[in-house]
Structure 1
Amino acid sequence: MKAERAKEILINLLRIPSPSGKEDRLALHIMEFLHKLGYDVHIESDGEIINLIVNPDAELFYEVHMDTIDIRVQPFIRGNIVYGTGASDVKGGLASILLMLESLKKEDKDLNVGIVFVSDEEKGGRGSALFMERYRPKMAIVLEPTDLEVHIAHAGNIEAYFEVDGKEAHGACPESGENAIELTYKMLEELKALEPFKQKGKYFDPHVGLQELVCENPYYLIPALCKGRLEARLLPEQEVEDILDLFDPILEEYTLRYEYTEIWDGYELDESEEIVQIAKRAMDLTGLDEFGGMRSWTDAINFMYNGTKTIVFGPGNLDISHTKNEHIDVRDVVKASEFLTAVNDIFGKS
């Protein structure tokens, strides 16, 4: 039964911790898995990053990252649900690729696509960047948790670290100080009130919010300094530079200093693109029917910036990824492997 085999493959992947920078053991496990099936594996490395590549001359690649965030939950199973850090992001997608490769061998089918297993997606995206320095496939499918939707659009993003400087005063005398926490929230309100964040999107809405805020106050004081990180999710059609022009005056007014640490433009593929048409045919064959948009940074950004038309797809749910409740239904892993198999077959006939 495919679900049981998917469960076995996935739990073996989850039992090998692979936080960013420590992917070596998992890479060895994947190489051994592929060698037993008879696939040649090319190792690409710059001394720090390691990528594994199968069928390197292909024009269509499946890409999946081997790393996870630091382990928060050890793996365990309840029926068809597998829990653990990385189950959804993205070892469920990794398992779907391995299940597909195993099925192709059993059915004596050709592998028509290339596959790259990359490092460092969760930290800096250096694995996909290294791959794109050396290879330029025409098309790609990046495996990420999309609830089995085919994501043909991708959010843009702005991330900024900041320090808001207030004025100390005794905690009983708020009128004599400037509360840095209150100033931070006033700054956030002004950012949220900007016109671009009132718009509505096709697949998701734009958003700006705090993701980290530290205000140390060991004494009974009005807090004078807050350090934090804010993140803005942009619609595919919104250009980062336009948003930065709106952010700068507000951040300059409220902060002691700020720094943009991540910025990238999003994108949306036209449905006439070849990779979208191939995906649509595979969706029809496997009973999938939803297009969507990816809300988080993925390696697809590095692919698209280098000219590779890229969709994002995979089993798992983005909302619960990275959380202590991260889990995945292995039946979705099977369904994802069927979709990937259908794309492989369609591309082989094109």
Structure 2
Amino acid sequence: MTLTDLLAALVRIDSTNPALVPGGAGETVIARFVTTWLTAHGIPAELDEAAPGRHSVIARVPGTGGGRSLMLNAHLDTVGTGGLPGLLGPVVRDGRMYGRGTYDMKGGLAACLLALLEARDAGLRGDVLLTAVADEEHASLGIQSVLLRVTADAAIVTEPTELNVSVAHKGFTWHEITTFGRAAHGSRPDLGIDAIAHMGRVLGGLEALGRDLAARPAHPLLGHGSLHASLITGGQDLSSYPGRCTLRVERRTLPGETPEGVTREIDALLGELAADATFRAEHRLTLAREPFGVGQDEPIVQSLRTAAAGVLGGPPALIGQSFWMDSAFLAAAGIPTAVFGPRGAGAHAAEEWVDLASVERCREVLSATIRDFCA
């Protein structure tokens, strides 16, 4: 099976994350396809069920002993199609394959699968593993589950990087802030306290905090941290003072920033506003995902860059990426990790595509890195 045929087969399998789209197909069918494909090619593979119907794949090419182990990682799930026809029917045009998941990230998965075939026949001392995981697009149930069962001396996540080597990405925290007023008839300002107006003060404070973040020293690859107001609800009808208003905020974080530190900053803002005796608010952290960073001198980064230089004709750039990936969980598990994947565009968009030649280059770089790192 050629790379193009393999990628097309993966894209045809609907693996929409059901946590994002109610009734989404989930990962079970694609996980079974990957497991069957690997087993048919002589590579032991098994399913890992993180939650009912949420399957990942763990595969291993065992080494002869004494070498370093390397984990290749990709996610199985995709975002939804938005009801657009044809996104699950891959189309090849001008060297690109179009379709949901081609870029994010079944192209990287196809490169991993073919690299495992080469590792099978390479006589390596170290093990080569694949973790093809569920739920990366939502709560990362898959990677958290498989890391309870496997580890490695290093890992490569094959999210798209345009054939650059990514050594950092931002994290994020989600926050819920509620302001409390006093509900009353709209004609009785003497009785009512406007919770929405109080939230306006919060929004002003968050805007000032955003300006402060932009004025702090920038990360050399990631720039500045940021925050934005995402969702707001409040009030009950036009003729009443609103007794409650709830705001949901996202804060994008840099390596070195912690959920605890971000929470303290928002709490301090609310504390200043509480100097007004009529102001009352509650704040809670609802989700945190750590930022990611790996040293450029880590052996896996050096091995990957050397291999890429040999395949691509020159050393790839070291980059950081703004979006979050499962690499943060791998790093938190003590596994030095780099990110390397193909070129393309349209992640989560109506038109998504991957450059097929870059998927082939990705496979070649993965294979060269495996031969070096696991020899």
TM over 0.5: yes
Q: Does 1:299 align with 2:317?
A: no
CA shift for structure 1 position 102: 4.8
Alignment equivalent of 1:15, drawn from 12, 15, 25: 12
Determine the structure 1 residue equivalent to 2:135: 120
Q: Does 1:50 align with 2:55?
A: yes
**More contact order relative to length (CA 8 Å, sep ≥ 6):** 1
What is the identity percentage for the equivalent residue pairs of Structure 1 and Structure 2? 24
CA shift for structure 1 position 134: 1.8
Q: Name stretches of at least 5 consecutive residues in structure 1 with no aligned partner.
A: none
Determine the structure 2 residue equivalent to 1:153: 168
Alignment equivalent of 2:367, drawn from 333, 341, 348: 341
Structure 2 contact 214–226 (Cα < 8 Å) conserved: no
For residues 19 and 275 of structure 1, the distance between their equivalents in structure 2, rounded to whole angstroms, comes to 32
CA shift for structure 1 position 141: 0.9
For residues 67 and 269 of structure 1, the distance between their equivalents in structure 2, rounded to whole angstroms, comes to 25
More displaced 10-residue stretch of structure 1: 55-64 or 15-24:
55-64
For residues 292 and 209 of structure 1, the distance between their equivalents in structure 2, rounded to whole angstroms, comes to 22
CA shift for structure 1 position 89: 1.6
CA shift for structure 1 position 222: 9.6
CA shift for structure 1 position 336: 1.1
Structure 1 contact 166–179 (Cα < 8 Å) conserved: no
More displaced 10-residue stretch of structure 1: 289-298 or 212-221:
212-221
Q: Does 1:286 align with 2:311?
A: yes
Equivalent pairs, count: 340
Alignment equivalent of 1:257, drawn from 264, 274, 282: 282
Matches within 5 A, 1:1-350: 5-20=2-17, 22-45=26-49, 48=52, 49-55=54-60, 59-72=69-82, 73=84, 74-75=87-88, 76-79=90-93, 80-102=95-117, 108-110=121-123, 112-164=127-179, 179=197, 182-183=200-201, 185-195=203-213, 198-210=216-228, 212-215=230-233, 224=242, 227-251=246-270, 253=273, 256-287=281-312, 288-316=315-343, 320-349=346-375
For residues 304 and 335 of structure 2, the distance between their equivalents in structure 1, rounded to whole angstroms, comes to 15
Structure 2 contact 225–254 (Cα < 8 Å) conserved: no
For residues 110 and 221 of structure 1, the distance between their equivalents in structure 2, rounded to whole angstroms, comes to 77
CA shift for structure 1 position 343: 0.8
Q: Could you say what the CA RMSD is over the residues aligned between the two structures, in angstroms?
A: 3.3
Larger radius of gyration: 2
Structure 1 contact 158–260 (Cα < 8 Å) conserved: yes
For residues 45 and 147 of structure 1, the distance between their equivalents in structure 2, rounded to whole angstroms, comes to 31
CA shift for structure 1 position 234: 2.1
For residues 95 and 211 of structure 1, the distance between their equivalents in structure 2, rounded to whole angstroms, comes to 37
CA shift for structure 1 position 23: 0.6
Structure 1 contact 215–223 (Cα < 8 Å) conserved: no
For residues 336 and 226 of structure 1, the distance between their equivalents in structure 2, rounded to whole angstroms, comes to 49
For residues 367 and 241 of structure 2, the distance between their equivalents in structure 1, rounded to whole angstroms, comes to 57
Determine the structure 1 residue equivalent to 2:22: none
For residues 275 and 43 of structure 1, the distance between their equivalents in structure 2, rounded to whole angstroms, comes to 27
CA separation of 1:109 and 1:255: change in aligned 2, threshold 3 A: farther
Q: Name stretches of at least 5 consecutive residues in structure 2 with no aligned partner.
A: 19-25, 64-68, 274-278
For residues 317 and 8 of structure 2, the distance between their equivalents in structure 1, rounded to whole angstroms, comes to 28
CA separation of 1:331 and 1:158: change in aligned 2, threshold 3 A: same
TM-score (norm 1): 0.83
Q: For 2:148, what is the secondary structure of its paired residue? A: helix
> What's the CA shift string for 1:129-152, capped at 9, x where partnerless?
122112221211122122222112
For residues 54 and 104 of structure 1, the distance between their equivalents in structure 2, rounded to whole angstroms, comes to 12
Q: For 1:343, what is the secondary structure of its paired residue? A: helix
More helix by share: 1
Q: Which amino acid aligns with 1:32?
A: T
CA shift for structure 1 position 180: 6.8
